[in-house]
Structure 1
Amino acid sequence: MSAHIVYDSAPLGSVIRYFDGTPKPPARFTRKVVDWQSRNGTGRLVKKEPPRSRATYSSPACFTLHEGDFGEGGIIVVSVRRTWSVESDLRFEIVERPAIGMVRVLQDLGDSRELLHLARDREAAERWLASYRYSRAYLEEVSADEVGADVIEGRTAA
């Protein structure tokens, strides 16, 4: 599917796979493998931003995938995120959608919402929020209505 479809139909918290359709090169070609990995991977959808138009600049809609955190001893040193424009030439696939009963910890940033954490239930989300103390964060539960609408409209995970 195209990046437009991910932007339009994937809910925050979905696991998205992106790929360019080329086979992975043999491991002995380290530079080619690194290039291939930059265009093939997975991440959790954490943000969608609407298109913007200014007097001297305009940008298309985009979305951000969180690919992972690196650190040690519970301290995150680097958080890897990639932002893709809806005009990207890559192909995308929704691998997994948030299940009913999961709770999103969200924060509003300008015109968009950002997923801070996806918890298995409200109690886990409240514990996470108490530990990480975001001042403008709020909770949103994944409802049966949301999941049911995805199934009815044909937006189930591939």
Structure 2
Amino acid sequence: MSASLIYDLAPVGSIVAWSDGTPRPPKRFRKKLAAWKTRNSQGRLIRKVGERSVGATSLSPNFTLHEGDLGANGVIAIRIHRTFSLDTTLTFKVVERPALGSVRVFDRAGSCAELVHLAFNRQAAEEWLSGHGYPNAVVEEVTADEVAADHVEGRAAA
């Protein structure tokens, strides 16, 4: 599916895979394999940002996926995020959607809010929040309407 369908249909918290359609190179070609992995991977959808203007420049809508974390001993040193514009040539697939009743924790309210945690229920979200420093956090439950929105105008988000 296209990036615009991911933007329109996939709920925040979904696991989304992306691909350029090329076959995976053999493991012995380390550089080619590393380059291939940057164009073929997956991550959790953490943000959708609509069209906006910065001065005289107009920025197109985009979405951001959290691909992973780098660190050691429970300390995260680097978070790997990938942001995709809707005009990318990559193809996308929703691998997993957030479960009905799960709770998303956003770092702040508003259109640029970023998902920082996906909990199984509200109690787990509140417990997670008590141990992490997000004073402006917003807690939002995944609703049946979002799960039903997977099929809009005959298009499926899978």
- What TM-score do you get using the length of structure 2 for normalisation? 0.91
Counterpart of 2:115? 115
Q: Name the structure 2 match of 1:39.
A: 39
User: AA paired with 2:128?
Assistant: W
Structure 1 position 103 matched with structure 2 position 103? yes
**Aligned-residue offset at 1:40:** 0.2
Q: Which moved more, 1:57-66 or 1:70-79?
A: 70-79
After superposing on structure 2, the runs of 4+ consecutive aligned residues of structure 1 that deviate more than 3 Å are 108-111, 151-157
What is the alpha-carbon distance in structure 2 between the residues aligned to residue 13 and residue 137 of structure 1?
Answer: 16
2:92 and 2:152 map into 1 onto residues whose CA distance is 21
Q: Which runs of 5+ in 2 are unaligned?
A: none
Aligned to 2:24: 24
* C-alpha RMSD over aligned residues: 1.8
CA contact (8 A) 1:49 1:62 kept: yes
**1:89 is aligned to 2:96:** no
Matches within 5 A, 1:8-157: 8-108=8-108, 111-151=111-151
Shift of 1:150: 2.5
Task: Render the CA deviation track for 1:27-47: whole Å, top value 9, x for unaligned.
Answer: 121111111111000000001
User: Does the CA contact (< 8 Å) of 2:6 and 2:157 recur in 1?
Assistant: no
The more displaced of 34-43 and 47-56 is 47-56
Cα deviation for residue 77 of structure 1 reads 1.0
Letter in 1 for 2:118: L
Specify every segment of 5 or more residues in structure 1 that has no aligned partner in the other structure, as ranges. Answer: none
Contact 2:26 2:33 in 1 (8 A): yes
Contact 2:10 2:157 in 1 (8 A): no
TM-score normalised by L of structure 1: 0.91
Aligned length: 158
Q: Distance in 1 between matches of 2:66 and 2:154?
A: 25
Aligned 8 A contact 2:9 2:149 in 1: no
Partners in 2 of 1:142 and 1:109 — Cα distance? 16
